[in-house]
Amino acid sequence: MGEEEKHKVEQEKPCSYNINDNADLLAEILARLDGRSLCAAACVCRLWGAVSRKDAVWEALCNRHVSSSATDSSFPGTRTVVAALGGYRRLYRRCVGPIFDRLAASGDHGPQSSAVAAAAAARLSLSLFSIDCYERLSVGGRQRPSSLLFLGSAVDVT
Amino acid sequence: MKRDHLESVGGRGIGGYAPAAPGMTGTGKGKMMGLDEEADGGIDELLAAFGYNVRSSDMADVAEKLEQLEMAMVGSHLASDTVHYNPSDLSNWLESMLSELSAPPPELPQAIHPNSSRYNLPQAPASAHSSTAFFDPADALTTTESSTVTSVDFPAQPPPVVFPDFAARQSGSGGNRVVYGSEPQIDSGTRDRKRMKTSSSSSSSRGGSGGGVIVQSSPTIGSLLAPASGTEVSSALPVVMVDTQEVGIRLVHALMACAEAVHQENFKVADVLVRQITVLASSQGGAMRKVAGYFAEALARKIYRLHPQQDCSLDSAFSDILQMHFYESCPYLKFAHFTANQAILEAFAGCRRVHVIDFSMKQGMQWPALMQALALRPGGPPSFRLTGIGPPQPDNTDALQQVGWKLAQLADTIHVDFEYRGFVANSLADLEPFMLETLSPASGGSAEPEVVAINSVFELHRLLARPGALEKVLATIRAVKPRIVTVVEQEANHNAGPFMERFTEALHYYSTMFDSLEGGAGAAGEAQQDQLMSEVYLGRQICNVVACEGSERTERHETLTQWRTRMAGTGFEPVHIGSNAFKQASMLLALFAGGDGYRVEEKEGCLTLGWHTRPLIATSAWRVAGATDSSSASAAADAH
């Protein structure tokens, strides 16, 4: 009797809680993923897609690329600026992702300089992002903003 | 008669030609060449300078033997393991060469002496012949012989160069060579024309000569001719086998010779050479072909005096578009913007009201990044004022104002207090200090005074075209009392006096530039288009440097050292660009695919971006000498 009850209870327990019921928790979890996994997660179902598109998730991802000792990217004021420029998801897709991928591919400098390098990369990402945003503002100018073409981001994830 | 003539001239030495030589009868070509040197005792001075010991008395013999050798090489087959005796002893070497040839040398109608032809001015037909013969790519005779001589020369000693400036550029490497010699003094006549005809007809079939000498050298334009250890002469078979390295060398030779011809206003020769260049260039690939093409076009413009160089009505809009493509395809402009922005940002630290005056407004691509950085700085953004200066537009559209609108929109989204003013000016020298100063007069006391920065990217060198313009602009800058002046300029001396110096310098500079564009070539369609437009952009600069003169030549680039001297001399002192800029620039370059060749270097507080070892653009920052902090200055003023 005890075993059967326990077994029943155990069987019931996993069913009583579904991660999909708690979007904030899901967001917290997804915020710990890397870029590619996050994009994959966005394809799972509509809820996951919606949660993955939250800018806060991408913000966490971007901030994680910059070490905790860095100043710029984790500033509170940054959120408004980045949001105004187009959001963290776009920032990641257009700048942060390609930049950090490229830098990782070109080799590591070492643990100490990587923090400094990461901060510099973050600043650079923001600068490039602002240029990209500026290009998008052009009315009747170039059809497609292309100042970031050199980053070679060929795949459009949105 | 020919022999007599030669001997008589040879006997009295080269130098003694100027007065009518009594020994020469009726040839009329008494003056042999434009040589000024006195003949040395016995040894021919001119050839001795090249490492050959030839006695003046033997000159005739040597000449004849060279011709025989040349004719013999056409149909013969010299073994690759031919032993060459001391080449500097030209007579004996020739004998040894001749003795190895099986075919008896045919009798020559004339004493044509291509390789010892001095490339010289006066008689157009004669010199046309000599140059054609030398530079004829298809004519295997000339090729083999010229190549032979070239390669033989190297083991002896580093050859002196025609143009000392060029030699200075070539320091270290074997050096380029345009061969000297004595001009053929015999009436060229039919043989010339025959040679030229054969050359032109066989050019299509022979291409870059069947064999010729294998000279080991690197294919890039910049480094020519590492000397080959041995000499190999393979048979001159009519095989279309293009030895691209050799053709590349000949291409550069041809470019240099054409420039020299143009400089000496020897336009017939230059015309022939320009065609040679286009033929040679078509066999090359990549950067070399494109550079040669643009330089050939520029030389052609100079020869035919095509004015105006570019269609001025389309000029500014078109050059803006080209510059946009240049911005996207390679990092030079981005580097310029990022480093200048960093310097300006650091200068603006702690200021609540800032004003930037941009001499090179164009599309305003520099300023979003600065605005973003100002928005994110600790303490919040200052109130940002931008004054943009640009050229008048042909169709009366206010491009400057449109750019201002876009920047204002961006500033609005990131909550930066922004003010914009555009100035249309034909030349920067038209600016007066009162135009650039603060509009609101009275509030200067209560509010914080404005801190001014002036930015110029590739603009200041244009002012050198008109005397006094640069001085006026620098005086205007000083009058505005900026906190910092950022100057980005090309790192090259394209403003030297002599044309040849300018030409060679430009050839090196733009070759390196094109190499770097090639290195970053992405396969994508849009990237290719960007690259193409960037090349057109650079091509226009090349045209301007080579083909224009006087006030039309606006691309008067000068080196960082020259700018430094100039700025220091007019009351500016340098501001060191910090390590943040360096790091950011390095990181930016690391992002460019295929950009392994880019190098950021720091030179006495200025940053340069270059391709491999050659710096191409330089960013420097300045402030008015003796100027202290504005607050302390005003406090000092108040105290008095």
Contact of B98 with B65, CB cutoff 8 Å = yes
DSSP-derived letter for residue B40 is: P
3-state secondary structure at position B618: strand
**Nearest CA to CA, how far is A50 from chain B (Å)?**
25
Q: Which of B42, B46, B53 is nearest to B32 (CA)?
A: B46
A84 contacts in chain B (CB < 8 Å): 413-415
Closest CB from B371, B406, B587 relative to A138: B406
CA distance B149 to B614: 31
CA distance A132 to B182: 63
CA distance B66 to B75: 15
Radius of gyration, alpha carbons of chain B: 30
Q: What is the mean pLDDT of residues B532-542?
A: 90
Place of tokens 């039309």: B552
- Asked whether the predicted pLDDT for residue B367 surpasses 90, the reply is yes
3-state secondary structure at position A10: helix
- Asked whether the predicted pLDDT for residue B304 surpasses 60, the reply is yes
Sign of CA dihedral B502, B504, B505, B508: positive
- Asked whether the predicted pLDDT for residue A150 surpasses 60, the reply is yes
Per-residue pLDDT at B130: 37
**Nearest CA to CA, how far is A34 from chain B (Å)?**
20
Q: Which amino acid, B636?
A: A
- Asked whether the predicted pLDDT for residue B354 surpasses 80, the reply is yes
pLDDT grade for A67, boundaries at 50, 70 and 90:
low
Query: Rounded to whole angstroms, what are the CA distances from B324 to A132, B338, B391, B424, B534?
Result: 13, 16, 16, 20, 9
CB interface of A with B, residues 90-129, below 8 Å: 98-99, 102-103, 106, 116-117, 120-121, 123-124, 126-129
**CB spacing of B591 vs A102 below 8 angstroms:** yes
B580 contacts in chain A (CB < 8 Å): 120
Greatest mean pLDDT among A9-23, B2-16, B30-44 lies in A9-23
pLDDT grade for B224, boundaries at 50, 70 and 90:
very low
B328 contacts in chain A (CB < 8 Å): 146-147, 149-150
Q: What is the mean pLDDT of residues B324-351?
A: 90
**Nearest CA to CA, how far is A99 from chain B (Å)?**
7
Query: Rounded to whole angstroms, what are the CA distances from B474 to B450, B459, B570, B574?
Result: 20, 13, 7, 14
Per-residue pLDDT at A113: 59
Q: Give the residue with greater pLDDT, B182 vs B79.
A: B79
Per-residue pLDDT at B564: 92
**CB spacing of A84 vs B414 below 8 angstroms:** yes
CA nearest B330 in A: which residue?
A: A150
Greatest mean pLDDT among A13-17, B155-159, B246-250, B366-370 lies in B366-370
- pTM score, whole prediction: 0.65
B205: CB partners within 8 A, 6+ apart: B138, B238, B240
- Asked whether the predicted pLDDT for residue B249 surpasses 70, the reply is yes
Closest CB from A81, A139, A151 relative to B414: A81
Q: What is the mean pLDDT of residues B34-47?
A: 50
pLDDT grade for B638, boundaries at 50, 70 and 90:
very low
Q: Structure tokens of A8? A: 């029943």
Instruction: Give the whole-number percent of chain B exceeding pLDDT 90.
Output: 20
**CB spacing of B324 vs A134 below 8 angstroms:** no
Greatest mean pLDDT among A135-149, B178-192, B233-247, B625-639 lies in A135-149
**Nearest CA to CA, how far is B235 from chain A (Å)?**
49
| Span between the terminal Cα atoms of chain B, in Å | 94
| Neighbouring C-beta atoms of residue B491, cutoff 10 Å | 23
Q: Which of A73, A102, A123 to mutate to test the interface with B (most CBs of B within 10 A)?
A: A123
Q: Give the residue with greater pLDDT, A134 vs B30.
A: A134
**CB spacing of A99 vs B376 below 8 angstroms:** no
Determine if the peptide bond prior to B308 is cis (ω within 30°). yes
Q: Which of B487, B364, B357 is nearest to B432 (CA)?
A: B357
Helix (H) or strand (E) holding B601: strand B598-603
Q: Which of B216, B235, B231 is nearest to B96 (CA)?
A: B231
Q: What is the mean pLDDT of residues B576-585?
A: 88
pLDDT grade for A2, boundaries at 50, 70 and 90:
low
3-state secondary structure at position B421: strand
Interface of B with A (CB under 8 A): 324, 327-329, 331, 338, 341, 364-365, 368-369, 371-373, 375-376, 378, 380, 406-407, 409-410, 413-415, 520, 522, 524, 526-527, 530, 580, 583-584, 587-588, 590-593
Q: What is the mean pLDDT of residues B286-309?
A: 82
- Asked whether the predicted pLDDT for residue B385 surpasses 70, the reply is yes
Contact of A66 with A95, CB cutoff 8 Å = no
**Predicted complex ipTM exceeds 0.90:** no
Q: Which of B456, B341, B324, B343 is nearest to B389 (CA)?
A: B456
